[in-house]
Amino acid sequence: MTTAAPELVTKMECETPEFLRAQRQLDELAVSMGLASELHQRLRYPKRALIVTIPVRMDDGLVKTFTGYRVHHDVTLGPAKGGIRFHPEVDMGEVSALAMLMTWKCALMGLPYGGAKGGVRCEPWNLSMGEKERMTRRYTSEIINFIGPDKDIPAPDMYTNEQTMAWIMDTYSINVGHTVPSVVTGKPISIGGSLGRHEATGRGVAYCARRAVKHLNWTKDAPEVVIQGFGNVGSITAKYLHNAGYKVVGVSDVHGGIYNAKGIDIPSALAYAQEHGTLANFKDTEPVNNQELLELPCDILIPAALGNQVNASNMERIKCKILVEGANGPTSPEADLYLHENGVMVVPDILANAGGVTVSYFEWVQGLMQLFWTEEEVNTRLETIMGKACDKVFALSQERNLRTRMAALWLGVSTIAEAKRLRGLYP
Ligand code: GLU
């Protein structure tokens, strides 16, 4: 259903097709939940957005300039929170759309944060370690007034990791004159990271897949799973689902995918990918490309790589019964509607991949308290929060006959709207 946008009082540079898609989702929801127009309008655009130029001395001695962004979509409930990605498709629209998703995700999970996202437009695979470090440090210094443990707390996202967070934390700390571990999450354990953070997103995705299976009362012994992406999210999801007795029949990385209808030996595939940097030619599997992979017969499909992978061009050939969104925005709005109407249960990104930001929250809390938890404490708390969120989303979707995505958004948006209403409008 498309609905008319409220009367426009704002227009911003972020209005790319990707951003408008995120905005239309809010518009659709605002109508069905009867959201007050003044609250709706305040949530349609980022609160603030920063664009920076990042000059970097490359290994050949020449200076190259990159463009970086950091966007705060909303800060009603607390500091802005969200990842930083390094990717050629990063632009103001993408970062703003993802910042909006972070607002709904944090609110849905009950975390005291608003939503943010940042990124640098670059080809990270063409940068040396030194170039990446200099780019990260200069980017941090350009956005330094925008971030801080009580303002905005970055974390890893596509093509950034624990090392990236360590550089950001170091650059920030040196500039303010003392060590501030809580300025980022997803840090290495030895400088204040949390046990379980590295695995948290994949653990949460696997947990949601199992909750969805339970919700549908499946009795099948080893549901068949296909996973697109073998980075931090995809590979760890594969590991946990394999350990839980699921049959992972297809996985892929940037170079392509592998398939075995009888199930892939995931522990060996993980070791193989680690050693060879690719899944290609892994034993007892046949090669498939990334598009074919999505269309493989399976019970559960988990896109855990890029956005917009399941869309109008392939939605009719998708064969899964449950789709769990490990990536942010892997399903286009048309495909979301089509899958719903054809009986596919979609576990939306803001629920399915929220394990990462949830354990980020634990990391931030532990850092502020200077009191560290065991891995078991982290995992138990994560499962409690994710379990509650799954129950709420599945129940609301049934109660109001909403797509699961809309139910998840409803819960997130209504939390923020209520907080905004109570805080009122300044001045
Ligand atoms: N980048 C992750 C996400 O999209 C994690 C964000 C965080 O931990 O702050 O949810």
Pocket-testing residue among 360, 382, 386, ligand 1, by greatest number of atoms within 8 A of Cβ: 360
**Contact criterion met (CB below 8 Å) for 171 and 140:** yes
Residue 186 lies in a domain: no
Pocket-testing residue among 75, 98, 357, 363, ligand 1, by greatest number of atoms within 8 A of Cβ: 357
Verify that 208 and 163 share a domain, yes or no: no
pLDDT digits (tens, 9 = 90+) for 174-195: 999 999 999 999 999 999 999 9
Verify that 301 and 255 share a domain, yes or no: yes
Looking at the structure of the chain, the number of domains it has is: 2
Residue 372 lies in a domain: no
Q: CATH number, domain at 236? A: 3.40.50.720
Residue from 310, 332, 311, 326 nearest 22 by CA: 332
Residue nearest to atom 4 of ligand 1 (CA): 83
pLDDT digits (tens, 9 = 90+) for 331-354: 999 999 999 999 999 999 999 999
CB-CB neighbours of 338 under 10 Å: 18
**Contact criterion met (CB below 8 Å) for 278 and 251:** no
Active site residue 239: no
Verify that 205 and 321 share a domain, yes or no: yes
Q: CATH number, domain at 91? A: 3.40.50.10860
Q: Which of 287, 321, 352 is the last residue of a domain?
A: 352
The catalytically annotated residue of 105, 117, 239, 321 is 117
Cα 217 to middle of ligand 1, angstroms: 31
Cα 157 to middle of ligand 1, angstroms: 6
Instruction: Return the pLDDT at 7.
Output: 58
Instruction: Return the pLDDT at 1.
Output: 45
Verify that 213 and 360 share a domain, yes or no: no
Verify that 212 and 258 share a domain, yes or no: yes
Instruction: Return the pLDDT at 12.
Output: 86
Atom nearest to 353 CA in ligand 1: 10
Cα 132 to middle of ligand 1, angstroms: 20
H or E segment to which residue 155 belongs: strand 152-156
Task: Tell me the CA distances in angstroms from 75 to 28, 306, 419, one per residue in order.
Answer: 22, 27, 11
Residue 1 lies in a domain: no
Q: d(Cα 233, Cα 5) in Å, to the nearest integer? A: 35
pLDDT digits (tens, 9 = 90+) for 52-72: 999 999 999 999 999 999 999
Verify that 235 and 166 share a domain, yes or no: no
| Residue 82 CB less than 6 A away from ligand 1 | yes
Cα 267 to middle of ligand 1, angstroms: 26
Verify that 111 and 16 share a domain, yes or no: yes
Distance of CA 256 to the CA centre of its chain: 22
Instruction: Return the pLDDT at 6.
Output: 54
Low-confidence ranges of the chain (pLDDT < 70): 1-10
pLDDT digits (tens, 9 = 90+) for 205-238: 999 999 999 999 999 999 999 999 999 999 999 9
Residue 3 lies in a domain: no
Verify that 129 and 228 share a domain, yes or no: no
